[in-house]
Amino acid sequence: MNPGAGLPILRLGDILISGLLSDLDDTTALRFTDELTTRISDEGIRGVILDISRLEIIDSFVARVLMELAATGRVLGARMIVAGMRPAVAITLSGLGLRLTGVQTALNAEQAMELLGWRPPTEAAEEAPHAS
């Protein structure tokens, strides 16, 4: 995580997990976008989860940032998943005429991880072959 960006970006294998906040300002958005896209490229990231469950409402600026992040990540070869979208946010995006083209959605971050092939450790351990 880059403390200057203001938003944490966590890495789990070849997946990055981060989130957006409704009080996102221009400077933070630019730093976050730069750090996320640099890490996708430099670290060979195959999947990115943007958890927006903390967004209770969304304005056109945050929606634009979300769309740009998703498009840029896809161009760099990462599978982009937006997780935790609240109904009010979905309604606002539709009302603004904005589409998250090419972006998968998930009800929560855990479901997004499963879409990227991650399984909870207990499931993975149960399915692993046991030594005899």
Cα–Cα distance for residue pair 69/64, rounded to 1 Å: 8
Among 41-50, 51-60, 110-119, which stretch is predicted with the lowest mean pLDDT?
51-60
- For residues 58 and 95, the answer to whether their CB atoms sit within 8 Å is no
Vertex 109 angle, CA 105 and 111, to 5°: 70
* 9-116: in CATH 1.10.3720.10: no
- Whole-prediction pTM value? 0.81
Count the residues in the chain.
132
Predicted confidence (pLDDT) at residue 2 exceeds the cutoff of 60: no
Round the average pLDDT of the chain to a whole number and report it.
84
* Residue 21 neighbours by CB under 8 Å, 6+ apart: 7, 54, 55
Q: What is the mean pLDDT of residues 120-132?
A: 63
